[in-house]
């Protein structure tokens, strides 16, 4: 496995993001084409296929968003605890979730200072990640 850094830390799952997502999109397009070309006899079943396709898309999107929310909550708790262990104080309440998620990549040595700087300068997550000198990889989040 290559060493993780700012340039390669984004991870996509080919089977989930591209294959499954692409197939669901193809089913939606096919069902719409089928509905447009359907006769009165099979209008109900063609409409039902479009509805099923829309349900598949919502399941695909919500499954991903729910999992990310759980990961975000876990990261917030972990980083708050890490900051408390390092400094004896919880993270500043002004830090936004995106900033906290970006701080997880900072080493223990630079995390407290970066947290203060992120609040003071209202840094975006991308800016925080670019300021990190010693990258702490996270291979679990997809």
What is the sign of the dihedral through the CA atoms of 48, 52, 53 and 57? positive
Query: ∠ CA(42), CA(45), CA(47), 5° rounding?
Result: 105
The confidence score (pLDDT) of residue 1 equals 63
C-alpha–C-alpha distance, residues 127 and 108, integer Å: 18
The confidence score (pLDDT) of residue 8 equals 65
The confidence score (pLDDT) of residue 142 equals 62
The confidence score (pLDDT) of residue 30 equals 97
Spans in the chain with pLDDT lower than 50: none
**Contacts of residue 86, Cβ cutoff 8 Å, sequence gap at least 6:** 108, 111, 112
Two structure tokens written together for 26: 């193809």
The confidence score (pLDDT) of residue 23 equals 97
The confidence score (pLDDT) of residue 141 equals 66
Q: Which residues are paired to 106 by β-bridges?
A: 135
C-alpha–C-alpha distance, residues 131 and 134, integer Å: 9
């Amino acid at each position: 496995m290559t060493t993780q850094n700012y340039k390669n830390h984004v991870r996509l799952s080919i089977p989930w993001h591209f294959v499954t997502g692409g197939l669901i999109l193809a089913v939606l397009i096919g069902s719409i084409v089928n509905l447009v070309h359907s006769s009165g006899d099979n209008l109900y079943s063609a409409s039902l296929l479009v509805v099923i396709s829309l349900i598949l898309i919502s399941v695909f999107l919500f499954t991903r968003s729910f999992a990310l929310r759980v990961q975000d909550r876990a990261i917030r708790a972990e980083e708050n605890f890490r900051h408390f262990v390092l400094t004896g104080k919880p993270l500043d309440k002004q830090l936004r979730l995106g900033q906290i998620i970006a701080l997880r990549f900072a080493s223990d040595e630079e995390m407290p200072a970066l947290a203060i700087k992120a609040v003071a300068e209202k840094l975006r997550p991308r800016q925080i990640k670019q300021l990190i000198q010693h990258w702490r990889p996270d291979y679990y989040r997809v």
